[in-house]
Copies of this chain bind each other. A is one copy, B any other.
Amino acid sequence: MEITLQPLRRMLKNAGAKRVSDKAAEELGLVLEERSMKILDEARKLSEHGGRRTVMKRDIKQAVKHQ
């Protein structure tokens, strides 16, 4: 997994959780990573479709809409 757990734990605390199990943070990381990969794959295709080698902000925005 590429996503690091510490930022996720901070977010959980920000959301008002008193305590967070390690497995809960890990599960959230896995879900986010899976969703990200779908968005990223779409964004990369959009950038290639536009004849670019760089994924831009507009590719991400468009890919999110396609979800």
A residues at B contact (CB < 8 Å): 2-4, 7-8, 10-12, 14-21, 23-24, 26-28, 31-33, 35-37, 39-41, 43-44, 47, 53-57, 59-61, 64
Contact = CB atoms under 8 A, between A and B. Distances in A.
Contacts of A59: 24
A3 B56 CA distance: 19
Contacts of A61: 27
A12 B57 contact: no
Contact of A56 (B8, B23, B60): B23
B17 A28 contact: no
Top 5 A-B pairs, shortest CB-CB distance: A15-B40, A23-B57, A19-B54, A18-B53, A2-B7
